[in-house]
Homo-oligomer: A and B are copies of this chain.
């Protein structure tokens, strides 16, 4: 581990290995890693906020990483410095990673102007959101002017990511249970753009039909006079068709929101949201990691388990140990 000042200097000096090590520090569950991580972050904060932040979500099998790679290569080709943060959500029960090993985005990984970081999600509530947001800020301080944050569209992660980006791209594919995908109304409500990927070969026609379906769905969600009605575009990341049409949408959205001052408002609202995430994460840390609280809760758990205490009484004891109530 480095001293906080060395992390700060390295990140501001755009040293990718230091950036990587700092993200590892952010992800650390060790109690004594928290203070230095926080010191570095505080020093980096004035150097953050100057990237275009894009969330990209889609179920496994939608070709999301191929799409991200195509988009990333296009952007570095135009002189952007692109950071990609991938979230590996761990299943609550199996504990296994859904994405498995990350031998993906090979060409982009070799690109000197790209930085790819797959982040394992912690089990703590709010952990995913916390690490990802802080990693995004570190990437900005390291001079990346585009940050792409990938999620797999499975529940809370996309809501958390939508709360930290400027633009949210939802990737779908034709014919994969459109009815059911459509039911994910919450996901459609988050979208600033829907890309129907794999619009190639036999899927070209079904992709057009899916686009029409989603356009209708989005029209129902957004009033016609909304500053931004999310477009729906077909593309094929595999054949690199239509991917170049995605970025102009990101820029058009940005222009529309900047015109009305909404982008600044959105960013400030996200800062407030982050404050609440920090509060909740600290409470969870206090609950599960502080030795004196942990000792009490272990005893309480045992007492509830053997029936000598009811959960209502037990909760009071834990809260008292935490200092609340």
Min CB distance, A225 to chain B, in Å?
A: 18
- In the complex, which residues 53-100 of chain A have their Cβ closer than 8 Å to any Cβ of chain B? 59-61, 91-94, 98
Q: Is A282 a contact of B324 with CB atoms below 8 Å? A: yes
Count identical subunits in the complex: 2
Question: 4 new A-B pairs (CB below 8 Å) besides A176-B179, A323-B324?
Answer: A92-B159, A154-B186, A271-B304, A278-B311
Q: Which residues of B contact A310 (CB under 8 A)?
A: 42, 45, 271
Q: Which residues of B contact A318 (CB under 8 A)?
A: 275, 279
- The answer to whether A111 has its CB under 8 Å from any CB of chain B is no
- The answer to whether A283 has its CB under 8 Å from any CB of chain B is yes
- The answer to whether A156 has its CB under 8 Å from any CB of chain B is yes
- In the complex, which residues 272-319 of chain A have their Cβ closer than 8 Å to any Cβ of chain B? 272, 274-276, 278-279, 282-283, 286-287, 300-301, 304-305, 307, 310-312, 314-315, 318-319
Report, as a range, how many residues of chain A touch the other chain. 35 or more
Candidate in A59, A156, A314, A325 with the most chain B CB atoms within 10 angstroms: A314
- The answer to whether A201 has its CB under 8 Å from any CB of chain B is no
Binary interface encoding of chain A residues 161-181 relative to chain B, with 1 for a CB under 8 A from any of its CBs, else 0 = 000000000000000111111
Min CB distance, A36 to chain B, in Å?
A: 13
- The answer to whether A38 has its CB under 8 Å from any CB of chain B is yes
Instruction: Say whether, besides A92-B159, A286-B324, A325-B286, A185 and B272 are in contact (CB < 8 Å).
Output: no
Q: Is A287 a contact of B282 with CB atoms below 8 Å? A: no
- In the complex, which residues 216-263 of chain A have their Cβ closer than 8 Å to any Cβ of chain B? none
Instruction: Name the contact of A282 in the complex, choosing from B93, B268, B315 (C-beta under 8 A).
Output: B315
Q: Which residues of B contact A93 (CB under 8 A)?
A: 186, 189-190
Q: Which residues of B contact A323 (CB under 8 A)?
A: 323-324
- In the complex, which residues 115-137 of chain A have their Cβ closer than 8 Å to any Cβ of chain B? none
- The answer to whether A322 has its CB under 8 Å from any CB of chain B is yes
Q: Is A274 a contact of B311 with CB atoms below 8 Å? A: yes
- The answer to whether A183 has its CB under 8 Å from any CB of chain B is yes
